[in-house]
Structure 1
Amino acid sequence: MVAADAISIEPIRAEHVESFHRALDAVSRERKYLSFLEAPPLDSVRAFVLDMIENDHPQFVAIANGKVVGWCDIRRESRPTHAHRGTLGMGILPAYRDKGLGGRLMRQTLDAARQCGLHRVELSVHADNARAIALHEGRGRDAVLIDGRYIDSLNMAIILGN
């Protein structure tokens, strides 16, 4: 295991794609945190990363021993009326959790989001993911401002039977 201070946080580059794909696949296969059950095909992930780089969307990776062990990205909304907003995604390999890496990735990514003009970052967290909820609550949350106070929104779904 690598000491937490030996893990670097870097903007993603094209040469990180294959390692990022492996990390994304590992976290996806846990079937707990992401909406993927496995990573999309490598070519799709490559296209996603290159699009993020080309369009200056903030995306950072945590690197240990030359491999991606975590990531955080914010994809800006494409419609001009929503271009001040972005959607955050992140993941960390199991062996690297609970070492402050999530906070480091978030700080770098949110700082980059501010610098590129984003004002609102949205994310979805599974209700049973206490680790992620604690990480994100520490960054402040607000969805709606009513009478001078922010009220969080809760996304819900109605499951329709067959």
Structure 2
Amino acid sequence: MHRTLFGLALAACLVGCGGGDEVTYARADGTAGGETRSNQNAPPPEPMGAGVGVAAPVPTGAPGVAYPGRRGSGTSLEDPVLACGPMDSYVFVASEVQCPGGGNPLGGDPEAGQQARVGNVGANGSGHIIDLYRVPCPSGPLEVYVDLYGCPEWEARLRAFEGR
């Protein structure tokens, strides 16, 4: 009797859960179907004053406002564009980067800039972790290297985090 009840309960669970032999195959678009479209490796903007003992800088990147110390070509790990924190990086990529034919398909949207972030590519000679972004230009993806620790405030946050 107990075996019969157990067997029925097990069968009901397997049917209700889709069974144990179900295989998920990638769809034609290269996904399994459960993924989100958002970039899960990009850090969200931090609230003001958050961090490791160093006050967060006033975010630059408001429309028409760029970090005044911006320099670098952004073409390599060793010559990244200097930004002032994640939000400034996102706004820079979405607003200031220009495709080879002109314009920026991200329309100044910081969230679109965040989504263009591929990930970090490791440290360069300065010891900063550098992020790689791919801007979807009409002529093909444009790779841009960005150092979000490129201003004194974020450099200090990095040093405080590292204990230096």
TM range (shorter): under 0.3
| Rg (Cα) greater in structure | 2
Task: Please report the TM-score for the alignment, with normalisation by the length of structure 2.
Answer: 0.21
The structure with the largest helix share of the pair is 1
Task: Please report the TM-score for the alignment, with normalisation by the length of structure 1.
Answer: 0.21
